[in-house]
């Protein structure tokens, strides 16, 4: 699972070692005829050696599993934001314009 995230561009510069697996689930044999596409699935965890968080992302009509990986990365960036900000002060997400300083008022985040 470490090899999957190491080779996935969504996690290429993520500073915490992760493990994960992408997947693509077909809606039905005639999904194109009814205007649907495959579900994109990503399951992952971090840190790799001593996991604190496990994530499953399912994007309906997402196309392929690799499309769900950036969503998982954004969740991990939020979960580990204090650690990333203190240990990697120049960190910037390579896949999104996500900020490590999102508005968190009203949410119970770590």
- Tens of pLDDT, residues 45-74: 999 999 999 999 999 988 888 899 989 998
Q: Locate all alpha helices (DSSP H) within 8-110, ordered by sequence.
A: 69-79, 81-87
pLDDT in tens, 7-17: 777 888 899 99
* Cα dihedral sign, 19-82-99-108: positive
Q: Which of 44, 1, 42 is nearest to 22 (CA)?
A: 42
Q: What percent of the chain has pLDDT over 90?
A: 36
Q: Give the 3-state secondary structure of residue 53.
A: strand
The number of CA neighbours under 13 Å toward the Cβ of 58 is 6
């Amino acid at each position: 699972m470490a090899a999957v995230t190491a080779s996935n561009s969504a996690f290429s510069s993520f500073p915490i070692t992760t493990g994960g697996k992408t997947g693509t689930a077909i809606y039905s044999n005639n999904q194109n005829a009814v205007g649907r596409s495959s579900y994109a699935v990503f399951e992952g965890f971090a840190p790799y050696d001593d996991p604190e968080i496990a994530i499953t992302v399912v994007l309906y009509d997402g196309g392929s599993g690799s499309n769900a990986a950036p969503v998982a990365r954004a969740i991990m960036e939020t979960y580990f934001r204090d650690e990333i900000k203190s240990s990697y002060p120049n960190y910037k997400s390579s896949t999104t314009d996500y900020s490590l300083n999102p508005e968190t008022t009203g949410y119970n985040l770590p």
